[in-house]
Amino acid sequence: MATFGNLSDRLAETFKNLRTKGKLSAADVDGTVREIRRALLDADVALEVVKDFTGKVRERALGDEVSKALNPAQQVVQIVNDELITILGGQQRRLEFAKKPPTIIMLAGLQGAGKTTLAGKLAKWLAKDGHTPLLVAADLQRPNAVTQLEVVAKQAGVAVYAPEPGNGVGDPVKVARDGVKYALQKVHDVVIVDTAGRLGVDAELMKQAANIRKAIDPDEVLFVIDAMIGQDAVATAKAFQDGVDFTGVVLTKLDGDARGGAALSVASLTGRPIMFASTGEGLDDFEPFHPDRMAGRILDLGDILTLIEQAQGAFDEDEARKVAEKFATDTFTLDDFLGQMQQLRNMGSIKKMMSMLPGAGAMKQQLENFDEREIVRTEAIIQSMTKLERTTPKLLNGSRRLRIARGSGSSVTEVNQLVQRFEQAAKMMKTVAKGGMPNIPGMGPIPGAGYGGKPKQVAKKKGSKLGNPAKRAAENAAIASGVKPVGETASADAAGSGFGLGSGAQPGKGKAGGPTEEEMAALQKMLGR
């Protein structure tokens, strides 16, 4: 995650120095804690939180759990991970829905924190779970805030209640109260109230937000905070807690490149959990906040669970089963390949997905250089093919590939590379579908691995083994014409006899003792006699 990228790099470098030590001394622990303290302060984590965090890490690192561990370095990483989870809130906190609908959710925060866009993200996320959210435009101060909420609601596919034009016109308290009544009439089970923000904390803002809260009695008050505002995040959070109070925190702009450590301090200093995180500008760039998973990302331990959840949400199980059957029966086509690519793109940014893998920090440069548009170019190439060409790639001769390249705005080389990648992928997946292990390019076959079937018996080539070139050529010619050489017949028919004798058969009679007269004549003719 970009916001905590620098913090992740600093911590990874600190732990790297520990891995070379078989046993940690008190000096090693003190040096590690000192580096952790510097990394946290440089990331804008509040001083009070840093002191408490490093104190607990040092105490545990000098205790028995590290000194008796088989790998002290890994144990220290585990301690830092545990304490990081603690300052992020410990356990995940879910939304609490009202026993009698509608559930009322009020959004509060400074102007520019992203409340209006977040309202649409939250509404879309709730709609996916079967809820019927209603957005209420109670921000009547900021220019065009009402219009923006209407646009966001349309993009999210949810209803919006906006009786006032905004731009300084209307009573936000009345709009919020009427919005709840409207939700009851139209049977919406969730109401999300977007309130006004200011450029800074002031008495007027707090009074208005407090009046709205008093009027609608919300089940949840979410404090929306920009992860990039630095140390001011803590002061703002405390001011809102004193003036309005809130039940949970939402972090926005976690995809930014600023130091976001101050946002990590909010949960620890206010005692309110971080419930959601906004990770991009799209309405789907929104996810519940899991302290343990976020700690894993910061420490470059990966976030496989979130990656699996995203995959489950994007991929159709029935479609995946059909594709597996096609792999097994060797009927996987470029059309199927295109469908898989599109499903992969529906999961979101590939860079974000790869960054959730353990050790992704070591591939930082490769991730930065990865071009997300590669999938779009691949789709363009496949869509430039005819239906027959997609089902039968063997038809793609030179002229067809040139036409496809021109139609997709690519080069013939790129078309060739795509076809080659497709054939390799289909071959590997067919092997896997049959229960074997694929031969991964660059690695060679895996010893002891099955390949989905019995190995084919390769027939040995028949040929003469004579040392004399002339006789060897003559004997090979005889074999090619179907005539058995004398030696071969003798050795096969008179096993145990050193020279092909003793079989009891008369030569020239067509029996086991030797060749027939026709065979002898053919042999004489071949030898030129």
> Quick one: tokens of 45?
């984590």
> Quick one: tokens of 380?
């363009």
pLDDT of residue 123: 95
pLDDT for residue 467 is more than 50:
yes
The residue written with tokens 């992203």 in the block is 114
Phi, psi torsion values for 117, nearest 5 degrees: -65, -40
Helix (H) or strand (E) holding 12: helix 5-18
Is 115 annotated in some ligand binding site?
A: yes
**Secondary structure of residue 172 in the 3-state scheme:** helix
Is 436 annotated in some ligand binding site?
A: no
**339: Cβ–Cβ under 8 A, 6 or more apart, which residues?**
319, 323
Categorise residue 515: left if φ over 0, alpha if ψ from -120 to 50, beta otherwise.
Answer: beta
In eight-state DSSP terms, residue 461 is: P
The residue written with tokens 């004997």 in the block is 475
> Quick one: tokens of 356?
């959730």
Give CA 41 to chain center in angstroms: 31
Structure confidence at residue 405 as a pLDDT band (50, 70, 90): very high
pLDDT of residue 312: 60
Is 271 annotated in some ligand binding site?
A: no
- Secondary structure, 3-state, 175-196: HHHHHHHHHHHCCCCEEEEECC
Is 198 annotated in some ligand binding site?
A: yes
Could you read off the pLDDT of 483-529 as tens digits, one per residue? 555 444 444 444 443 333 344 444 444 444 455 666 666 656 555 55
CB of 248 within 8 A of CB of 272? yes
Could you read off the pLDDT of 137-172 as tens digits, one per residue? 999 888 889 999 999 999 999 999 999 988 888 899
In eight-state DSSP terms, residue 102 is: P
> Quick one: tokens of 253?
């702009």
Is 496 annotated in some ligand binding site?
A: no
Quote the CA–CA distance of 455 and 457 in Å, as a whole number: 6
Report the DSSP pairing between strands 220-226 and 103-108.
parallel
Number of C-beta neighbours around residue 456 at 10 A:
6
Is 196 annotated in some ligand binding site?
A: yes
Mean pLDDT in residue range 164-182: 90
pLDDT of residue 296: 76
Is 111 annotated in some ligand binding site?
A: yes
Helix (H) or strand (E) holding 291: helix 291-298
Is 366 annotated in some ligand binding site?
A: no
Report which listed range, 181-190, 221-230, 271-280, 291-300, is most confident. 181-190
Report which listed range, 216-230, 439-453, 477-491, is most confident. 216-230
Quote the CA–CA distance of 344 and 350 in Å, as a whole number: 8
* % helix, strand, coil for the chain, step of 5: 55, 10, 40
Give the mean pLDDT of the chain: 75
Is 109 annotated in some ligand binding site?
A: yes
Categorise residue 302: left if φ over 0, alpha if ψ from -120 to 50, beta otherwise.
Answer: left
Is 64 annotated in some ligand binding site?
A: no
Is 253 annotated in some ligand binding site?
A: yes
Is 103 annotated in some ligand binding site?
A: no
Quote the CA–CA distance of 16 and 10 in Å, as a whole number: 10
pLDDT for residue 222 is more than 90:
yes
Among 139-153, 196-210, 435-449, the range scoring the smallest mean pLDDT is 435-449
Give CA 524 to chain center in angstroms: 74
With vertex at residue 379, the alpha carbon angle to CA 377 and CA 383, rounded to the nearest 5 degrees, is: 120
Could you read off the pLDDT of 301-349 as tens digits, one per residue? 655 566 666 666 655 666 666 666 666 666 778 888 887 777 766 666 6
Q: How many CA atoms lie within 13 A of 290 on its CB side?
A: 12
Among 14-28, 51-65, 164-178, the range scoring the smallest mean pLDDT is 14-28
Quote the CA–CA distance of 89 and 27 in Å, as a whole number: 30
Domains of the chain: 5-88 (1.20.120.140), 103-289 (3.40.50.300), 317-356+369-433 (1.10.260.30)
pLDDT of residue 295: 78
CB of 186 within 8 A of CB of 158? no
Q: How many CA atoms lie within 13 A of 324 on its CB side?
A: 10
pLDDT of residue 92: 83
Is 516 annotated in some ligand binding site?
A: no
pLDDT of residue 360: 55
Is 331 annotated in some ligand binding site?
A: no
Phi, psi torsion values for 341, nearest 5 degrees: -65, -40
Is 270 annotated in some ligand binding site?
A: no
pLDDT for residue 3 is more than 80:
no
Could you read off the pLDDT of 34-53 as tens digits, one per residue? 888 888 888 778 888 888 88
pLDDT of residue 491: 40
CB of 274 within 8 A of CB of 91? no
Provide the edge-to-edge strand list for the sheet that holds 248-252: 159-161, 133-137, 190-194, 103-108, 220-226, 248-252, 274-278, 286-288
Report the DSSP pairing between strands 286-288 and 274-278.
antiparallel
pLDDT of residue 477: 66
Could you read off the pLDDT of 63-108 as tens digits, one per residue? 776 666 557 777 788 888 888 888 888 888 889 999 998 999 999 8
Is 32 annotated in some ligand binding site?
A: no
Quote the CA–CA distance of 149 and 312 in Å, as a whole number: 30
CB of 29 within 8 A of CB of 59? no
Phi, psi torsion values for 167, nearest 5 degrees: 55, 40
What sign has the CA pseudo-torsion 78, 79, 82, 87? negative
Number of C-beta neighbours around residue 267 at 10 A:
25
> Quick one: tokens of 446?
């895996």
The residues that bridge with 187 in the sheet, in sequence order, are: none
- Amino acid identity, residue 216? I
